[in-house]
Amino acid sequence: MILEALQYIATLPVTPAPFRPYIRSSVNLWARAGRCAKDWAAHEAQCQNFVRKTVSGMRERRTAVVLGSGLLRDVPVEFLSKAFDTVVLVDLVHLASVRLRARRLRNVRLISRDLSGFDDVLAGRKPEPLGFLRQVPYLDLVVSANILSQIGVGATRRLEAEESGDAAEVVPKLIAAHLNGLAALPCTVALLTDTRYRVSDRSGAVLEDTDLLHGITPPPAAQSWSWPVAPFGEESRDYQVVHDVIAASALSRFSV
């Protein structure tokens, strides 16, 4: 708890005020990642290797943008820093530990930004959460790093807390908007996302099976694997939570 408190305290003053409410969940994720490091290692390696493989086939390597850069555990930021002239990390919150790591890489920039499009949908506007990427000069690579499903999770929580809309109507629009934004980019794209999760007990019986993309069909997977987000003992001794993950680069447009 002491380390979590220090992480929170160090992150608070360097986070823009609108995003400070999200620091706690980022710190909680950081703590879980530490506890589950062994169980998460294969997933993180798969993500990083897919990004490296994607970059290996690129000729132009000027600017790379990572959407949902998070804890930088599933993003090979040092590799990207060496491969590109500029690397931009975009997320709601950049923890103090992440900022320290990024500071050591002179060509890495941090941006705090809501990538969901939530406010636009509630206001009746067409969401274009990735429209800002059109203003990024010399953009050659965009990585969507395990953020797509979290857009749905975050939106559902906000809708429930604010009683401001129907998740069944809002969330698919947000997920489609993210995928459409990626598909419209005139550059190389690497999509990493979990698509569903299963809760199972020690006998293997599935207690819950949930579509994290809310009915939106994901792009064809170049690779797929399982990620034990909450192994036995993390949330309960009696069950585990495993997510299905895909990596994709061939994206198409969606409509909802």
Distances (CA, A) of 251 to 65, 68, 133, 219: 17, 18, 17, 6
83 and 55 Cβ atoms separated by less than 8 Å: yes
129 and 117 Cβ atoms separated by less than 8 Å: yes
Higher pLDDT, 223 or 167: 223
Q: Fill in the amino acid letter for 144.
A: S
* pLDDT exceeds 80 at position 252: no
Token pair belonging to 203: 């006998």
pTM of the model: 0.94
50 three-class SS:
helix
* pLDDT exceeds 60 at position 254: no
Higher pLDDT, 163 or 53: 53
* 183 closest CA partner among 79, 113, 253: 253
Q: Fill in the amino acid letter for 195.
A: T
Token pair belonging to 207: 């207690």
- Range 38-248: architecture per CATH: 3-Layer(aba) Sandwich (3.40)
- The label of the residue with tokens 């992480």 reads 7
Q: Fill in the amino acid letter for 220.
A: P
Residue 122: the pLDDT is 86
pLDDT tens track for 163-184: 777 888 899 999 999 999 999 9
Token pair belonging to 115: 């990538």
Residue 57: the pLDDT is 87
- Locate the domains of the chain by residue range: 38-248
